[in-house]
Chain A
Amino acid sequence: MEKKTRRNFMKTLGASVGAAGVLSSGSLLSACNRVEEVSGDKITLLTSSGELVVVDRSQLKPAELPSLTENQLRGRKGLPGRSWVMVIDLSKCRNARECMKACQSHHQLRPEQHHINVLQMQDSEDTAPYFMPKPCLHCDNPPCTKVCPVNATFKREDGIVLIDNERCIGCRFCIAACPYSARVFNWKEPRDAEKYEGVTYNIEANVPQKKGTISKCLFSADCLRDGKLPSCVSACPNGVYWFGDKNEDAVTNGTTKETVSFTQLVKEGAAYTLMKELGTRPRVYYLPPKGQEASPIEGDHI
C-alpha cells in the first residue's frame, strides 16, 4: 500500500515538475517576445533607482532573485558567535498587549494566532494574580525539535528554535510535544494569503505563512540579523523586555534602550525559568511579578 502511493506520488511529482518547467519556459519566451515588439534591438527600461536607460536586447538577463535555498541555509545556521537570551520583567507588565500586536503584524498572523501570548496567571489562591507574556522559550533541550520527522523545526547555533515552513508536513507532533503551548498551526489559509502570494519565503520571520504548516515565535530572527531588537521587545511601552546576547553578557531593554549585564540582571532580580522541572532549559528568564497590579482572573486557569 505504502509503496504504491509513493510511486504514484513520484509519478505526479515528476509530471508536475515537468509541466511547471514547460510552463515557466513558455512564459519566459513570451516575455521576451513582448519586449521585442516594443522596440527592435534597443529597449528602454526603468531601473530600481528610478532612471530610464536604453539597453541592447542582447544584454538582457533575468534578474537574480534571492534564492530560496540560500535564504534557508543562512536561516538554518544562525548568527555566528551569538547566544540570544530574553529576560521578561513580570513586575513591569501592565497587559498593554503592544507586544502581541507588533508580533502578529510582523509575522502575518491571524487574530487567534499568538507567537507571544500575554497570559493571566495565578499560582495559588493566596497569591496575587499577574500577567505573564509567553513567547517561545527557545529551550536548550527542546522537546519540539526532537520529535520533528523531517527536520522542519530545529535549533540554531545562536540558540533560536526556528521553523522551515517549506519543509513542514503538518503532522503537529511538535505542538503535542511542547509543554508551553508555544506553537500555532495554520488551520486555514493564512492572513492576507493572496497579498503575499509569490513572495519569497523568509525563514527568519516565517513569512509568508503557509496553510497546513506550523508557526511560532522566532525571536524575530530577521530583525536580529539586521541588528534590531525583536518586534515584541521594541513595541513594549512598559519596559518589560530585556533582550541580548549571553556571550556578550549584555541585554538591552526594548523601551528604555538601557543595556545592562545579563548575569547581574538575572542574579539580582531572582530570575527563574518556566517549569524548570521539565528539564527543557529555556532561554527566556522571568523576573518575579513583584508589585504587579493584575486584576483577579475569571476562570481559565489551572
Chain B
Amino acid sequence: MQKTESPEESRRKLDKIVSDLTRSILLKDELTRFWFFILIMFAGVGLWGWILQIKNGLGVTGMGDYISWGLYIANFVFFVAISLVGLLISSVLQLLKISWAKPVSRAAEQIAIAAVALAGIIIVMDMGRPDRLLNIFLHGRYASPIVWDLTVVSTYLAISLLLFYIPLIPDLALLHERMGPELPTWKRKLYKVLALGWKGNDLQFKTVYHALRVLMILIIPVGLSIHTVTSWLFAATLRPGWDSTIFGPYFVVGAFVAGTGALIILMYVYRLRYGLKEYYTDMHFDRMGKLLVLVCLVYLYFNINEFFVPVYKMKLAEGVHLKTLFSGGYAFMFWFAQIVGLVLPILLIQLKFFRRPLPLSLISVVILLSAWFKRYLIVIPTMEHPFLPVQNVPESFHHYKPTSTEMLIMLFSFFAALLIISILAKLFPVITIWEVAEEQGIDKEYLTEKSNTQ
C-alpha cells in the first residue's frame, strides 16, 4: 500500500479512479446498444423455444427413454462449474490475503451470479412438468440429491449476491455523491436507496469488513457443496461412467478450470472495452495465468485417475463406455478436451509470452470450449450405454442428437447469462472503487466528499 501525502493529491487520484471506473456505467455508444439488442433478441428467441417445448412436450428434444438427459443437463453442469470462480477468487484468494485478486473479485461475482441463476433456470427448463415446480417444496424428500442441489444452489446464489452487494455499498454512496447530471435520475435514486444511508465512518467500514469475512468463510463449504452435489446427481447412480467415488472433487477442480478461463476472458473484455489497463494490468493476467496452470494441473491429475484406473481394469460395461470415449464416436471431443483443452494450456501458459493478456484470453476461450465438451461427455455417452441392450425402440432412441429447440434453449441460456453480466456492468462499477482507492493509499475521508471538479 502506498502512502499519499497531500489532500490535493488524494483528491486528484480519486477523481481519476472514479472517472476510469465509471466508464462502464456512462458509456452510451452504438456498440453498447447493439450488444444489448443482440443479447435481448437471442435470449428472446431462445425463450420462444421453451414456449414451444412447453406446448409440445419434451418430445421436441432429441432425448429418448435411454438418453433421457441431454444438452440441458450438460449446460446445467457447465453453468454450475463456471459459477464456482466466485468462490475461488472472491473468497479463497481474499482469505489468503492475495491483494492482486481484489480488483478481479467483482467480475468473478458477476460471473458467479449470472451462471448460478442460469443453472437454476435451465434445470426448470429440463423438467417435463415445470408447472409442478412447487411440488419440490410441497413434497420434497431430503433423500434426493435434487433437493440437496436446490438447497445449495439457492444458498450459493444468495451468498454470491451478498458478496457482490456488500462491497458495493461504499461505492454506491460515493457514486450518488459524486455523479452529476451525466447519470439518469433513476440510477442516482437507485444508488441512494441501495447505499442504505452509508456515511463512511469507521464503524460502518468495520461492519463491512466483518460481514465480508463471514461471507467469505461461509461460501467455501456452500460453494464446494454446489458442485459436489451436482456431481452426485450422476455419482449416486449405478451407471458405468458415473459410478465413481472421485466425482465430487473431480467436478470441483474442473469447475475451477472453467471458471478461471471465463474470468480471464471477461477481464480482457473489460480491459479493452472500458480502458482499464491500469487496473487489470499485465501483472493481473500473469497471475491469473499461473492460477490457471495450477488448477489445470490438479484437474489433469483427477482426469488420469478418473480414466486410467478403469481403463486398466476394463470392466464389461465400463469398458464399452470408455471405448466410445477413447476411440469411438466421442473420441474427437474427448481428446480435444484432454489435449487441446488441458495438456497444451498447461505447457503453453508456463511460458511468459502466453501469460500476456491477449494470448492468455485466447487460450481461455479454448479452455472454456473444451470445458463445455467435457460436460457434454460426462452426461451423454454414459446414457447411451445402459447395462441392458437397447431394443424394440425407434432408431432415434439409440443415439442422441440435439434438436433445433434444444439449440434455441441453449442459446437462451448463454445469452441470458451474458445479459445478466452486461446489466450488472452497466449498473455498477466492474471494479470496487473504494478498494482501489484504499490500495493507492487514499484516506477513506475523501471517499464520501463531493467531487471538487464538479
What 1/0 flags go to A93-126 for Cβ under 8 Å of B? 0000000100000000000111001111100000
Known: A2-B154, A180-B387, A302-B387. A149 touches B65 (CB 8 A): no
Shortest beta-carbon distance from A283 to chain B in Å: 17
CB <8 Å contact, B388 and A119 = yes
The residue that B135 contacts in the complex, of A1, A169, A278, with Cβ under 8 A, is A169
Residues of B within 8 A of A143 (CB): 237-238
Q: How far is the CA of A134 from the CA of B120 in the complex (A)?
A: 36
> Does A119 lie within 8 Å of B391, measured CB to CB?
yes
On whether the beta carbons of A188 and B59 are closer than 8 Å, the reply is yes
Q: Main SS of chain B's interface residues? A: loop
Q: Is A253 an interface residue (CB 8 A)?
A: no
Min CB distance, A270 to chain B, in Å? 21
One of A62-70, A171-179, A224-232, A244-252 at the interface: A171-179
Closest-by-CB residue of A relative to B121 is A1
A residues less than 8 Å from B157 (CB atoms)? 1-2
CB-contact partner of B128 in A5, A151, A177, A186, under 8 A: A186
| Alpha-carbon gap, A147 to B126, bound state (A) | 16
Q: Tell me whether B309 is interfacial, beta carbon within 8 Å.
A: no
Contact A170-B141, Cβ < 8 Å, known A119-B388, A183-B65, A186-B57: no
> For the complex, is A28 an interface residue (Cβ under 8 Å from B)?
no
A181: chain B residues at CB < 8 Å are 65-66, 386-388, 390
CA distance in complex: A60, B132 (Å) = 36
Q: How far is the CA of A121 from the CA of B387 in the complex (A)?
A: 12
B453 located at the interface, meaning its Cβ lies under 8 Å from any Cβ of chain A in the complex: no
Judged by a CB distance under 8 angstroms, whether B347 is at the interface is: no
For chain A residues 1-39, which have a beta carbon within 8 Å of chain B? 1-2, 5-6, 9-10, 13
Q: Quick check: B140 and A171 within 8 Å, CB to CB? A: no
Mark interface residues in A123-163 (1 if CB within 8 Å of B CB, else 0).
00000000000100000000100111111100000000000
| Chain B 45-98 interface residues, beta-carbon cutoff 8 Å to A | 56-59, 61, 63-66, 68-69
Query: Chain B's nearest CB lies how many Å from the CB of A232?
Result: 14
Question: Does A203 belong to the interface (CB within 8 Å)?
Answer: no
Among A113, A134, A177, the residue within 8 A (CB) of B237 is A177
**Alpha-carbon distance A143/B390, docked complex (angstroms):** 20
Partner of A302, one of B132, B146, B316: B316
Residues of B near A117 (CB, < 8 A) are 391-392
Chain B residue contacts of A151, Cβ below 8 A: 139, 141
B437 at the interface (CB under 8 A from A): no
Q: Which of B367-409 contact A (CB under 8 A)?
A: 383, 385-394, 397
Contacts of B237 in A (CB 8 A): 143, 147, 176-177, 179
Is A281 interfacial (CB-CB < 8 Å)? no
Segment 281-302 of A: residues with Cβ below 8 Å from B: 300-302
**Which B residues touch A280, using CB under 8 A?**
238
A301 touches B69 (CB 8 A): no
**Known: A150-B135, A302-B387. Contact between A177 and B68, CB under 8 A?**
no
Contact B239 A176 (CB under 8 A): yes
In the complex, whether A197 has a CB less than 8 A from a CB of chain B is no
Return chain A residues, CB-CB under 8 Å to B385.
302
B68 contacts A185, C-beta separation under 8 Å: yes
- Whether B127 contacts A187 by the Cβ 8 Å rule is no
Q: Select A177's contact among B124, B126, B236, B394, beta carbons within 8 Å.
A: B236
> Does chain A have a CB within 8 A of B187?
no
Chain B residue with the shortest CB-CB distance to A279: B238
Question: Using Cβ atoms and an 8 Å threshold, which residues of chain A touch B134?
Answer: 6, 9-10, 13
Q: Does the CB pair B389–A301 fall under 8 Å?
A: yes
The minimal Cβ–Cβ distance linking B244 to chain A, given in whole angstroms, is: 14
Q: Is A173's CB under 8 angstroms from B65's CB?
A: no
The closest CB in chain B to the CB of A179 belongs to B238
Query: Smallest CB–CB gap between A19 and chain B, Å?
Result: 15
Q: Collect the chain B residues with CB atoms within 8 Å of residue A207's CB.
A: none
Contact of A185 among B65, B117, B141, B147 (CB under 8 A): B65
Which residues from chain A contact B63 at a C-beta distance below 8 Å?
Answer: 187
From A1, A121, A151, A168, residue with most partner B Cβ within 10 Å: A1
Q: In the complex, what residues of A have CB within 8 A of residue B333's CB?
A: none
Check B133–A169 contact: CB distance below 8 A.
yes
Docked-complex contact A113 and B65, CB < 8 angstroms: yes
Tell yes or no: A184 within 8 A of B by CB: yes
User: In chain B, residues 111-128, which have Cβ atoms closer than 8 Å to a Cβ of chain A?
Assistant: 117, 120-121, 124, 126-128
Contact A147–B145 (Cβ < 8 Å) = yes
Q: Could you say which residues of chain A place their CB within 8 Å of the CB of B238? A: 143, 177, 179, 278, 280
Q: Report the nearest B residue to A181, measured CB to CB.
A: B386
Q: How far is the CA of A294 from the CA of B64 in the complex (A)?
A: 28
Within the complex, the shortest CB–CB distance from B214 to chain A, in Å, comes to 22
Once the chains are docked, how many angstroms separate the CA of A280 from the CA of B145? 19
A150 to chain B, nearest CB (A): 4
**How far is A250 from B323 in the complex, measured between Cα atoms in Å?**
46
> In the assembled complex, which residues on chain B have CB atoms less than 8 Å from the CB atom of A180?
387-388
**B273 close to A (CB within 8 Å):** no
Q: How far is the CA of A211 from the CA of B56 in the complex (A)?
A: 9
The CA-CA distance from A168 to B143 in the complex, in Å, is: 16
Q: Which residues of the partner chain B approach A170 to less than 8 Å between Cβ atoms?
A: 58, 127-129, 132
Interface assignment of B436: CB less than 8 Å from any CB of chain A: no
A213 at the interface (CB under 8 A from B): yes
3 closest Cβ pairs, A-B complex: A170-B128, A212-B128, A188-B59
Q: List 27 A-B residue pairs with CB atoms under 8 Å apart, sorted by A's residue number.
A: A2-B154, A9-B134, A10-B134, A13-B134, A112-B65, A114-B392, A119-B388, A134-B388, A146-B144, A147-B143, A148-B141, A150-B132, A150-B135, A167-B139, A168-B128, A169-B128, A173-B145, A175-B65, A176-B237, A179-B239, A179-B387, A180-B388, A187-B65, A212-B128, A280-B238, A300-B389, A302-B316
Chain B positions within 8 Å of A, measured between CB atoms, are 56-59, 61, 63-66, 68-69, 117, 120-121, 124, 126-130, 132-141, 143-147, 150, 154, 157, 233-234, 236-239, 316-317, 320, 383, 385-394, 397
Which residues of A pack against B, CB within 8 Å?
A: 1-2, 5-6, 9-10, 13, 100, 112-114, 117-121, 134, 143, 146-152, 167-173, 175-177, 179-181, 183-189, 211-213, 275, 278, 280, 300-302
Q: A5-B124, A179-B238, A187-B64 are in contact. List 5 more A-B contacts (CB 8 A).
A: A6-B137, A113-B65, A114-B393, A150-B144, A167-B132
